[in-house]
Structure 1
Amino acid sequence: MTVIKGVLFDFSGTLLRIESAESWLRAALTASGTAMDDAELVRSAAALERAGALPGGSSPVELPGDLGELWEIRDRDARHHRALYTGLARQVPLPDPELYDALYERSRAAEAWQPYPDAAEVLAELHRRGTRIGVLSNIGWDLRPVLRAHGLDRYVDVCVLSYEHGLQKPDPRLFALGCRELGLDPAAVLMVGDDRTADGGATAVGCSFLPVDHLPVDRRPDGLRPVLERVG
């Protein structure tokens, strides 16, 4: 059996989790100087969540037809990503048109993301063991500042972001690129992620795969610890 010498982690729902839709909307309202009473805020936040407008949150309950094609390619290009998520947000009436861009900007802010309780501990231990560590994410913006703000970047050797390469998981080429960036044969690499289809696609190039549950941070205190059992 090949010894695992490197780990590729998904970002959203694996290492960190986006804030709640209510917290997200409240922060955007504050940033734009817009007032909204609490009852309306709660209703609007729930509607935004149903619309799938929060990146890293739930998928749309019903995807508007004019956004269907964009949904499929949203993580291949930064412009696609912004257009898709601001377009989904616009399905929900809000008191100020500037809020749609404010919401998108908030979703990229470090304050909007919270690491899972065991993320730093697991990354630090892997780093101590000399394991090569990468973050491989379907995303439309640069997540490196978020990792830096939460003190996780010190453990990460490489970041492979879909929008920077015009590829998105489960395309085998993105996983192959991640392995090359780690300097390892895919057989020596473990992919960890919350999406069994997208992240599980790593097995097509010969990586191992360890799924984790996409849960709020307070409901998944030690979901990453099994990684340490898989790595030599």
Structure 2
Amino acid sequence: MAAVLFDFSGTLFRAESAASWLRAALDETGHALSEPELAATARALEAAGALPGGAEPVELPADLAAVWAVRDESAALHRAAYTGLSRRVPLPDPGLHDALYERHMSPAAWTPYPDAEKVLRTLRGRGIGVGVVSNIGWDLRPVFREHGLDAYVDAYVLSYEHGVQKPDPRLFAVACEALDADPRRVLMVGDNRAADGGATTLGCRVHFVDHLPAAQRPDALLPVLDLVG
């Protein structure tokens, strides 16, 4: 293998819990909820699918279906989709919906999987190119920098910067070109079979991991090192 492409959320990093997300936004804006209210509101936000990187909506509102389908094609669409979902849940202040969205873009809202650093560092040591290909509406580079993983990434290909989202093979093609790698010698690692599986259209191999809390998935990325040889 000449290069390995990684998805971001659920693959290299895990988003914080809905409760942690809500608590941080409340603290940052000077608002408060009782613990029972916070827990109930966090559950409602999670069911609404309002946390980017978290669970998808239990029931997608009809008036958001169109924007949801293309949410990762621009920063504006991404914000509209997720703040639209969070507004289905009553909060102490309307401004909290935007505060929640801002919070999820903070490096503090993300935790690398325990084996991510080792895998990326080892690939770099072997001279294998590393790219991050993500369906996303914001710049995740600061997250990698804050957690010390940016030094191992050669290229970031983010859907909102190209106006196209996975599984469209054009996004994977951009990544392969950026790494000067023949797609037939590239491995795509992700947690979403529909989105990340789009890489097979170009001839890439694909390896899937489970989107689990970081503490429950300590070593799922390690097999990548055997797959690249």
Q: Following TM superposition, by how much is the alpha carbon of 1:35 offset from its aligned partner in structure 2, in angstroms? A: 1.3
Question: For residues 35 and 155 of structure 1, what CA distance do their matches in structure 2 show?
Answer: 40
TM-score by length of 1: 0.98
Q: Following TM superposition, by how much is the alpha carbon of 1:5 offset from its aligned partner in structure 2, in angstroms? A: 1.2
Q: Following TM superposition, by how much is the alpha carbon of 1:186 offset from its aligned partner in structure 2, in angstroms? A: 0.1
Question: For residues 124 and 36 of structure 1, what CA distance do their matches in structure 2 show?
Answer: 42
Is the partner of 1:70 in helix, strand or coil?
helix
Question: For residues 135 and 43 of structure 2, what CA distance do their matches in structure 1 show?
Answer: 24
Q: Following TM superposition, by how much is the alpha carbon of 1:56 offset from its aligned partner in structure 2, in angstroms? A: 0.2
Is the partner of 1:198 in helix, strand or coil?
helix
Is the partner of 1:197 in helix, strand or coil?
helix
Which of 158, 162, 167 is equivalent to 1:161?
A: 158
Matched to 1:97, the amino acid is: P
Question: Equivalent residues in 2 for 1:49-198 (5 A)?
Answer: 49-198=46-195
Quote the residue 2:15 is aligned against.
Answer: 18
Q: Which runs of 5+ in 1 are unaligned?
A: none
Is the partner of 2:187 in helix, strand or coil?
strand
> 1:60-95, CA deviations, whole angstroms, 9 ceiling, x for partnerless residues?
000111100000000000000001100100000001
Question: For residues 2 and 218 of structure 2, what CA distance do their matches in structure 1 show?
Answer: 25
Q: Which runs of 5+ in 2 are unaligned?
A: none
Question: For residues 101 and 172 of structure 1, what CA distance do their matches in structure 2 show?
Answer: 32
TM-score by length of 2: 0.99
Quote the residue 2:28 is aligned against.
Answer: 31
Q: Percent identity?
A: 65
Matched to 2:73, the amino acid is: R
> 1:177-225, CA deviations, whole angstroms, 9 ceiling, x for partnerless residues?
1100110110010000000110011000110000001000011000000
> 1:19-61, CA deviations, whole angstroms, 9 ceiling, x for partnerless residues?
0000000000001101111100000000000000000000000
Which of 201, 223, 227 is equivalent to 1:226?
A: 223
Is the partner of 2:194 in helix, strand or coil?
coil
Question: For residues 23 and 218 of structure 1, what CA distance do their matches in structure 2 show?
Answer: 15
Question: For residues 73 and 56 of structure 1, what CA distance do their matches in structure 2 show?
Answer: 16
Quote the residue 2:3 is aligned against.
Answer: 6
Aligned positions, number: 229
> 1:81-124, CA deviations, whole angstroms, 9 ceiling, x for partnerless residues?
00110010000000111100000001000000000000000000
Matched to 2:18, the amino acid is: A
RMSD, aligned CA: 0.5
Which of 203, 210, 214 is equivalent to 1:213?
A: 210
Matched to 1:211, the amino acid is: F
